[in-house]
A and B are shown apart, each in its own frame.
Chain A
Amino acid sequence: MSIDTRAIRQDFPILHQEVHGRPLVYLDNAATTQKPRSVIDALVRYYEQDNSNIHRGIHTLAVRATEQYEDTRTRVARFINAPAPEGIVFTRNTTESLNLIARTWGDTHVNEGDEIVLSVMEHHSNIVPWQLLARRRGAVLKYADVDDQGYLKLDELRSLITPKTKLVTMMHASNVLGTINPISEIAEMAHAAGALFVVDAAQSVPHLPVDVEALGCDVLAFSAHKMAGPTGVGVLWADTDLLEEMQPFLGGGEMISVVREEGSTWADVPHKFEAGTPNIADVVAFSAAVDYLESIGMEAVREHEKALTAYALDRLSTIEGLTIHGPTDVEHRGGAVSFTMAEAHPHDISTIVDTHGVAIRAGHHCAQLLMRRLGVPATSRASFYIYNETSEIDALVEALEDVRRVFGHAGTRSAV
């Protein structure tokens, strides 16, 4: 592995603790990642030294706070190779970013009988906003299926995209299966039909190099807290021409140019979409997270996670009665590994594993359509990040052996 995990672990204070008397093994990174000292320090420094409301302020603190907030915008733009910082809108999370597009672009461009194409592997945050839009506008949703290996059925997707398609939306990397979807290929399909192409990048921007120009999407959404940054900050990237043409999302302070009794005019983008006092402190601290990832290098992050995922797939496949859901080729998947075990429900697995100090997630992972497609009520999921080591996967495997001991599918249990 090309990154120094030992050194990285030293940067994450939370990792150095015991849970149930065992060293914490944090494998729930698809839900949220831990934060390095530099991010925590940036948050504290902001409140201790620079706290002020941004924009319009003349005094020194207001200028400092504004500069730091806007500087994060520039860094985030550079991080995803966006052509201009003005294309970055700060929201609360990926969910809000997707709702913003549905409420603004969607409400003015999607009409009765129009079609929206998405997939059954989407997170609820990339399903429900479109269901609401479809209901408001009388549009129709069409879902592309996945195959038994967990890959999107591209031929089916191609046939679903027609001249009636106004919008195509797809997750870049799956939070359940790990699958990395061929985004640039889908972008071509969407654009050939004249549709807008929206990408849910919540599980990709934190884990691999993402270049919006190379992907060819029109809109990209992701969250700071899944990439070593604070909670409460989401990003919506869109082409600035698109943002300028779109109607505002929320109305209020910061997003206006002139307010008169009979109506108002809007601030320039991106401020048109940032009504009210934003989450300044967390945006400022997000900058430290971007710096941290850049100092490691996203290519190196990706290589590290590929190696960990390959190791995990290999070790997990040795456990009798365990089924892995998702692709096995690490070139086409990220580090979210879902599995089920005969006879043991995911919550029982999670509880037993937790007694070993190992944190994994159990449930439907906000992907009920996919659970139904897989024919399971829920799965267990381990997901990795820059600070995880192969020894932690060994700890997971050891804990899963205990699950087998308690719930072993032979249906018997040796006396304790």
Chain B
Amino acid sequence: MPGPEALFDELYRDLILEYYRSPKNRGSLPQPTHRAEGLNPTCGDEITIEVKLDGNTIEELTFDGQGCSISQASAAMLGELVTGKPVDDALHIAHRFEDMVLRGEEPDPVIGDLEAFQGVAKFHARVKCATLAAKVLADCVESPVDAKAGG
């Protein structure tokens, strides 16, 4: 059996801790076009994502919320990665990220640095922490801020 350090170091990769401590995209947008929030009721992780879409492209994105390092760092990293990308590409990245964390699949190159979360797949109690941001992002691009104007 590996020692405790070997086990949790696989989960708490330096990159994850860096994004947890100093996310660059935490906050809110002055004029978001879309917004969604999500909650893991069992553990209390909360994430809100706001985006500004320019046509079909995510021009700007911020997240806010509270929770464990895994939930907050995955939101920060996923958010950075999809900013500037078309919605379809962003959702593809989110889904491939979920495939890795939920189903233990090998990381697809499109998920970039998110592969740092590969270790989460081994910590069943923490998988939901990692997938919350992906779920909120998918909700977000479907949720215009002004429901009436957005049709």
Contacts and interface: CB of A to CB of B under 8 A. Distances in A.
B24 to A, nearest CB: 15
A351 B67 contact: no
Contacts of A377: 44, 66-67
A378 B5 contact: no
Contacts of B9: 416
Interface string B3-30: 1110111011010010001000000000
Contacts of B45: 347
Given A413-B14, A413-B17, A347 B4 contact: no
A348 B72 CA distance: 12
B31 interface: no
A347 B126 contact: yes
B82 interface: no
Interface residues on A, range: 20 to 34
Contacts of A348: 12, 68-70
A364 interface: yes
Interface string B21-57: 1000000000000000000001111000000000000
Interface string A70-91: 0000000000000000000000
Interface in A364-416: 364, 377-378, 399, 402, 406-407, 411, 413, 415-416
Most buried by A among B4, B9, B12, B129: B4
A280 interface: no
Contacts of B12: 348, 352, 406
Nearest to A343: B21
A366 to B, nearest CB: 11
A184 interface: no
Contacts of B8: 351-352, 355, 402, 406
B66 A351 contact: no
Contacts of B147: none
A207 interface: no
A20 interface: yes
B2 interface: yes
B1 interface: yes
Given A343-B21, A415-B14, 12 more contacts: A20-B4, A344-B69, A345-B67, A348-B69, A351-B8, A351-B123, A355-B4, A363-B43, A377-B44, A402-B4, A406-B12, A407-B69
7 contacts: A22-B4, A355-B4, A362-B43, A377-B44, A406-B8, A416-B5, A416-B9
Interface of B: 1-5, 7-9, 11-12, 14, 17, 21, 42-45, 66-70, 123, 125-126, 129
Interface of A: 18, 20-22, 343-348, 351-352, 355-356, 362-364, 377-378, 399, 402, 406-407, 411, 413, 415-416
